[in-house]
Amino acid sequence: MTELAHDPAIEAVIFDMDGVLVDSEGALADIAALSLRDDGVPASPQDFEPFIGMGEDAYIGGVVRLHGMEYRPFMKAHIYARYIELAPDRVREFPGAADLVRDLVRSGFRVAVGSSADRPKVLANLSALGLEESDLHALVTGSDIHRKKPEPDIYLEAARRIRADPARCLVVEDAESGVRAAVAAGMTCLGVATSRPADALVAAGATSVLPDLSALRTLLSLPVRNHADP
């Protein structure tokens, strides 16, 4: 695994959402499988793993087609409704994620979220973090672009909105499709091995894989927080 030193040229940090800031992949797979079974698709949570990070149409549609059925838009609407209902109890912040976002902004970094998920789901996750869209410099979702990850569009759009040179952006990702999107955008990408194995992320192009977000805090020379900090 490659070691990475802090590059002072980095001026912006762009986070994926699911599996990076919020521990939601398991909850989403459970909710999606339950909802699809209501719609007559015999899905299991494990079916969704190959489609992580590719946006909900591919994530849901891939599993529906895996079972030889036709993907229809109402299936996604059903899953979103259940997800938004259950997210407050099922989705958890990765330790220190919200504080990390706030501290990056305070330290002068430009901070964005770039998620292939559609906007309603991303907003539900942001709420689970205790953050608002105004806490970020930009929020780009699958609702904002046509080509999802592994295409670079989401990350290029995030860089455009925060007025950052892609070469000076650091992306934090948990899935191979997202890593490939960041690399294709000309950005440095760090992996976090929350959803996929570290070696798979490195093979996709991640410069390094961090054990957790606290390692990113250390890498970017941010102050160490404890639970008593405001």
pLDDT tens for 94-151 read 999 999 999 999 999 999 999 998 898 899 999 999 999 999 999 999 999 999 999 9
CA distances from 70 to 37, 60, 194 (A): 14, 11, 31
Whole-prediction pTM value?
0.85
What percentage of the chain has pLDDT greater than the value 70? 94
The predicted pLDDT at position 182 comes to 98
User: E strands along 69-187, which residues?
Assistant: 92-93, 110-114, 138-140, 169-173
Instruction: Decide if pLDDT at 2 tops 80.
Output: no
**177: which 2 tokens?**
């499709």
Domain coordinates in residue numbering, the chain: 12-24+93-219, 25-90
Q: Residue 200 has what DSSP assignment?
A: H
Instruction: Decide if pLDDT at 1 tops 80.
Output: no
The predicted pLDDT at position 229 comes to 53
Residues designated catalytic: 16, 18
- Classify domain 12-24+93-219 at the CATH topology level: Rossmann fold (3.40.50)
Instruction: Decide if pLDDT at 230 tops 60.
Output: no
**89: which 2 tokens?**
């109890």
Measured CA to CA, the distance from residue 182 to residue 20 in angstroms comes to 14
Instruction: Decide if pLDDT at 205 tops 80.
Output: yes
The predicted pLDDT at position 170 comes to 98
End-to-end CA distance of the chain: 35
CA distances from 113 to 87, 174, 229 (A): 19, 13, 24
The closest of 201, 159, 183, 218 to 6, measured between CA atoms, is 218
Instruction: Decide if pLDDT at 7 tops 70.
Output: no
CA 64 and chain centroid, separation: 22
